[in-house]
Amino acid sequence: MKIKSSKKIITLTVVFGMISTIMSGCTESIGTTSEISNETTFNVSYTSNSKTTENSLKENSKDSINLHPGLIQKSTQVDFSYFDDAVFIGDSVSLKLKNYITQKHSSNPDFMGKSQFLVAGSLGTGNALWKLSDKSVHPVFNGEKMLLEDGIKICDAKKVYIMLGLNDMVPYGIDKAVENMSTLIQRIKTSSPNAIIILQSATPIAKGGEGVKLTNKALVEYNQKLLLLCEKESYFFIDIASEMKDENGYLKSNYASDSYVHFTDTACDVWINYLRTHTIY
Amino acid sequence: MMLSFYSCNKQTEKQVDLIQVMNDIENTCLTEGMMELTENDLMSYYGIVKDDVVKSVIKIDSSGIKADEIVMIEAKDLDTVKIIEEKLNQRLKQKANEARNYLPDEYAIIIDCQVKTYVNYVTLFVSGQVDEMYRIFKANYDKQ
């Protein structure tokens, strides 16, 4: 026990020291979000027009601690307890993640900590803003259907991971979907001011699954705009999509459970590993 | 969406082997890609309090995109039967809402399904083979 305690103290001291060092180096730059984005500790490159490429979302590979909003960099892998105060919001893609984690609990009850889920098939940034009704698709949390902002408050979650957008490309288009996301987050922040918003990029479509409006090109543009939103409004952005796509931008075949957008268990493993190695502190 | 058999006559509570029922269903019907839920998952998936349940045997589709679900719950008493019925009906309604606009085939399956109660047992089968599943459950129930 003593050894464990000592290790903890040493670890905390080292982490605190690292944070202090980075903070002191950043003091002068903290101001507008655009200033922050130019910092070396952040090292995000992106452009503000719709012609940006996928490469602009690519991160550097060095380890870093993500103290500033924007694109989350790679970091040291955290324990599952990191997700004790996390809630995951999403559609059927995230519903699969919930099911996968539930299955894992049979062999490891601590898997992904006490993470909670507000997920519903066909949920999007648009219909999440609808009024609550018998026919709305708002998620059911512990047996009660509720608005996302109310669910987050009840969850008492600090880290709010949101992955929405796949169900918005057809009815709303890219710009309106981003606008809806912004509105949704404002509602969440009004209800839970201390919530840390972490947007997850919308993940790609498998080969053969693209439609007229729901295309990988549209999703790349949507993700770029979400990143800009995060930079502007001081939210975090985690680029899950970058891990999921093949060299042609499709959802990797061994990650696709159908010819559309849904994940296999392998993809969930990759997703979880990415979450554990792209943390905010 | 709900049928209650206990209210129209004074049937006595029976002891049904729910694991055997599940085995029979799995041997007869298509249940590929389903995952098991334990009593620890009752709140998260259904809003059902664990203490209201004597036993539950549940399997749901693991992919998140198919409607299939097999829920068999032995309630603690007849008061909690009503609560569990309500929760399962809510679950069924939510599944229909989520599937309505983007999974038409699954939606068609869901709207043909219903919560059924056999005295102290509350069941929800969502499947293209729902009639067969209920036949199996009833056969096991009547054996007791």
- Segment B111-134, tens digit of pLDDT: 999 999 999 999 999 999 999 999
pLDDT at A38 over 60: no
Mean pLDDT confidence for A72-83: 96
Residue B81 Cα, gap to closest chain A Cα (Å): 15
Report the percentage of chain A scoring pLDDT > 70.
76
Mean pLDDT confidence for A125-139: 97
pLDDT at A68 over 90: no
C-alpha closest to that of A205 among A246, A238, A173: A246
CB contact under 8 A, A106 and B36: yes
pLDDT in the model for residue A197? 97
Per CB-CB distance under 8 Å, the chain B contacts of A95 are 64
pLDDT in the model for residue A18? 44
- pTM: predicted TM-score of the whole model, two decimal places: 0.83
Closest Cβ–Cβ partner in A96, A102, A106 for B63: A96
Residue B135 Cα, gap to closest chain A Cα (Å): 28
- Segment B23-80, tens digit of pLDDT: 999 999 999 999 999 999 999 999 999 999 999 999 999 999 999 999 999 999 999 9
Band of pLDDT at residue A49, cut at 50, 70 and 90: very low
pLDDT in the model for residue A54? 44
Residue A2 Cα, gap to closest chain B Cα (Å): 34
Spatial strand order of the sheet with B53-61 comes to B2-4, B115-118, B121-126, B69-75, B53-61, B34-37
Out of A19-23, A77-81, B88-92, least confident range: A19-23
CB contact under 8 A, A117 and B44: yes
DSSP code per residue over B93-139: HHHHHHHHTT-HHHHHHHTT--EEEETTEEEEEESTTHHHHHHHHHH
CB distance A218 to A265 below 8 Å: no
Mean pLDDT confidence for A234-248: 97
Which site among A142, A144, A155, A263 would you substitute to test the B interface, given the most B Cβ atoms closer than 10 Å to its Cβ? A142
Per CB-CB distance under 8 Å, the chain A contacts of B46 are 143
Residue B46 Cα, gap to closest chain A Cα (Å): 5
pLDDT at A126 over 60: yes
pLDDT in the model for residue A58? 52
Which residues of A make CB contacts under 8 Å with B?
92-93, 95-96, 98-100, 102-103, 105-106, 117, 120-123, 134-137, 140, 142-145, 167, 257-258, 262
Half-sphere exposure of A159 (CA within 13 A, CB side): 22
Band of pLDDT at residue A34, cut at 50, 70 and 90: very low
- How many contacts, defined by CB atoms under 8 Å, are there between A and B? 71
pLDDT at A48 over 60: no
pLDDT in the model for residue A128? 98
pLDDT at A85 over 50: yes
Which residues of B make CB contacts under 8 Å with A?
35-38, 40-41, 43-44, 46-48, 60, 62-65, 87, 90-91, 93-94, 97-103
CB contact under 8 A, A142 and B43: yes
Closest Cβ–Cβ partner in A120, A122, A142 for B44: A142
pLDDT in the model for residue A31? 28
**Token pair listed for A272:** 């979880």
Mean pLDDT confidence for A18-32: 35
pLDDT at A42 over 90: no
pLDDT at A67 over 80: no
pLDDT in the model for residue A121? 96
- Segment A251-265, tens digit of pLDDT: 999 999 999 999 999
Residue B107 Cα, gap to closest chain A Cα (Å): 12
pLDDT at B110 over 90: yes
pLDDT at A16 over 90: no
**Token pair listed for A104:** 């894992």
Name the residue type at position B131. D
Residue A220 Cα, gap to closest chain B Cα (Å): 22
Band of pLDDT at residue A136, cut at 50, 70 and 90: very high
Name the residue type at position B73. I
C-alpha closest to that of A94 among A174, A27, A162: A162
Mean pLDDT confidence for A188-210: 97
**Nearest residue on chain B to A93, judged by CA atoms?**
B64
ipTM confidence score? 0.91
Closest Cβ–Cβ partner in A93, A122, A134 for B98: A122
pLDDT in the model for residue B6? 44
Backbone angles phi, psi at B17, to 5 degrees: -80, 95
CB contact under 8 A, A262 and B36: no
What's the Cα-to-Cα distance from A207 to each of A96, A252, A261, B21, B69, rounded to whole Å?
Answer: 20, 8, 10, 40, 29
CB distance A64 to A73 below 8 Å: yes
pLDDT in the model for residue A57? 59
pLDDT in the model for residue A66? 64
pLDDT in the model for residue A14? 41
pLDDT in the model for residue A9? 42
CB contact under 8 A, A102 and B35: yes
CB distance A158 to A149 below 8 Å: no
Spatial strand order of the sheet with A116-119 comes to A70-71, A236-238, A196-200, A159-163, A86-90, A116-119
